[in-house]
Every structure is written in C-alpha cells, then in structure tokens.
Amino acid sequence: MLQAAGVGKFDERIYRALLRRPSASVAELADSGGTTASRTRRALRRLEHLGLVRRTETNRVAPVAPDAALAALIQRREAELGQVRAEIIELAEEYRTGRIEAHPEGLIEVVTGQETISRRARELNDGAQSEALVFDKPPYVFQPGDHEVAAERPLLERGVRARVIYSREAVSAPQRLTILARLAALGEESRVLPDLPFKLRIYDRRVALVPLTTDRQSTDSVAIVHQSSLLTALIALFDAYWEQAQPVTDGTGDRPAELTDDDVAVLRLLSTGLKDEAIARQLGVSLRTLRRRVLRVMDLLHASTRFQAGAQAMRRGWI
C-alpha cells in the first residue's frame, strides 16, 4: 500500500510490525518478519531516512505516528514529483529546440483527422501548467454542454488561469450562459466580442492550437504552433482582443434592490449585442416576455436604447 509513497514492501512489513509492537527489539522484529537481524536493521535505517521511525534516547527505534509521518512523506514525494515535472518540461524544450535546429519546419505541426486532433488537444490541455488563452467560436464538433465543464474542470482545479473570449454567436446557443456561469465558478475568466477571427488555444505562452482554415464546415485540420514569431503574434492578438472584450460573468457592483436576477440576466445578454430571439432562447421565455423585461431594465437605467442599457449596467458594475 505504501509503495506509492516510496516505501518498499519489505520495509512496510517491518514498519507495520513495529506499529503493532512499538517496544520490539531488532531480533524480535526479524523473527516476526521471518528474516535476519541484519536485513531488518537495513530496513529500519531506510524507514528512519523516510521519517517513519526515530531513534530513542536509548538508541532503540520507535515508530512515528503514521498520520503525521506519512503526511510529511507524501509532501516530500509531491515536491519531488514537482521537480520531475519541471525537469520534463526542460528536457522537452531541449528536445524541441534540437529538433527545430535540425528541422525548422517543426515549428508548426499540421494535424489532421478529428480523432488525432482531439487526442493532441487533450494532451496540450492536460500539460498546461500556468495559463490557457482561448478564442471560442463555432463550428463545434460537439454541441456546447455539460461536457465543457467536465473537460475544463481538471485544468481549472489545478490552478491554471484560463481566460476565454467567446464570440457573440458562441454565447447565443441555448443554455450556454448557464454553462459559462459554472465555468466561472470554477475560476474561468470569460469575455465576449461580436466576432473572432478564428478559434485559438494557447497554453503557457509556449504552444498554440489554431485551425488551418476559417471554413465554417471544416474542423478536421489544425496547426500546432511552437515558440516562434508566429506564436508571439498570436499571443499579442489575444491580448489585444482581451482588452476590447466585455465580461460575460456577473459584476460585483452594488445593485439597486429593485433589480432582480431576471433583470441582471437580461442586461448581461443585452451587453453582448445578441438579438431578441437569441436572448429569449437563452432565458427560455417568449419574445413578448423578453421585450417586457427589456423595457423594464431600460426604464431602471433611463436608457434610450437596448445596447445603452447593457453598457450602463456594465459601467456601474451590475453585470
């Protein structure tokens, strides 16, 4: 059981024997384990090195409480694994640099076929350490839904900062904002723009995934762009769009008491520039009900246009 923590099977057996008989001598431990005293002493030295046993004032060995000892051991193992991960990244970078020097065409990988693209996308997503930058727009291989949360949850839960810009069309899909709210609760930062030039995913500012064509019907060929002037340009493009984009998630400003959650939902959607039909679909209401709500929030804000209402609400921090 303790092998994953770096404790060998035999050493674990000796440790368990010592837990059962804390005052046992080396000879007694050897007898209980059916082994020799010298082998038992070596096991005890290893256990002492791991912090699972300690020397007493009389130079005997005593077990350290398992909860404290194993917690400390696991922390050390996690730190070691973190160092290994860092080494892997460094080695991978050296490998990539060597390949690029030998084969400059390796700066851009062309990947085709939906299965292969999905596999490479998962690998990049799983390998992200600190940051993910995303342009999200149709077309989609799968319709937006709960699978988005399942796919992004591991990334967000391990502390990767994810910033996503959605196109207006992307957020207009039924119930999409509900999904985005769940992602925001996990830590995703989301904004919206009327349109985006193409789909894009950038990880750790080291590698990007971008489609090879803007054809709306084509999702079966992508380019993986490694560190290069092209990648730098893609990062700069994202940063520029991020500055222009408007937040999708709820604001933190003080709202008037008469502003209901339904009003906030309407204002959020108005600020994205969606048409009435798309907003009504998102909220699951009729056009007549929606237009009545729109008039209500416009009156609350003394706004003369729908867009002005959304913009004013955003400036006030209501959405």
Residue 223 confidence class, pLDDT cut points 50, 70, 90: very high
Contacts (Cβ under 8 Å, ≥6 apart) of 51: 64, 69, 72, 73
Q: Which of 263, 269, 273 is nearest to 299 (CA)?
A: 263
Check residue 136 and give its pLDDT. Answer: 93
Check residue 268 and give its pLDDT. Answer: 77
According to the per-residue pLDDT averaged within each range, which of 14-28, 190-204, 300-314 is highest? 190-204
% of the chain beyond a pLDDT of 90: 19
Check residue 162 and give its pLDDT. Answer: 95
Question: What are the pLDDT digits (tens) for 37-79?
Answer: 889 889 888 988 888 888 887 778 888 888 888 888 788 877 8
Check residue 279 and give its pLDDT. Answer: 86
Mean pLDDT of 99-110: 69
CATH (one of 3.40.50.2300, 3.30.870.10, 3.40.605.10, 3.90.550.10) for 104-247? 3.30.870.10
Residue 131 confidence class, pLDDT cut points 50, 70, 90: very high
Q: Which CATH architecture has domain 1-95?
A: Orthogonal Bundle (1.10)
Contacts (Cβ under 8 Å, ≥6 apart) of 109: 223, 224, 226
According to the per-residue pLDDT averaged within each range, which of 113-122, 137-146, 275-284 is highest? 113-122
Question: What are the pLDDT digits (tens) for 236-288?
Answer: 999 999 998 887 754 545 667 778 878 888 887 887 777 888 888 888 889 99
| Axis-axis angle for helices 287-301, 306-315 (nearest 10) | 50
Specify the length of the chain in residues.
Answer: 319
Check residue 90 and give its pLDDT. Answer: 76
Distance CA 195, CA 192 (A): 8
Residue 106 confidence class, pLDDT cut points 50, 70, 90: low
Q: Is the pLDDT score of 233 beyond 90?
A: yes
For 150, the token pair is 């399942």
Check residue 301 and give its pLDDT. Answer: 83
Mean pLDDT of 120-138: 92
Q: What is the CATH number of domain 261-315?
A: 1.10.10.10
Check residue 221 and give its pLDDT. Answer: 87
Of 40-54, 181-195, 215-229, 278-292, where does mean pLDDT reach its minimum?
215-229
Check residue 192 and give its pLDDT. Answer: 86
Indicate where the chain has its CATH 3.30.870.10 domain(s). 104-247
Long-range contacts at 110-119 (CB < 8 A, ≥ 24 apart): 110/212, 110/221, 110/222, 110/223, 111/221, 111/222, 111/223, 111/224, 112/220, 112/221, 113/220, 114/141, 114/219, 114/220, 117/219, 117/220, 117/221, 117/222
Indicate where the chain has its CATH 1.10.10.10 domain(s). 1-95, 261-315
Contacts (Cβ under 8 Å, ≥6 apart) of 86: none
Distance CA 66, CA 84 (A): 26
Greatest CA separation found in the chain?
91
Distance CA 275, CA 114 (A): 32
- 196 or 216, which is more confident: 196
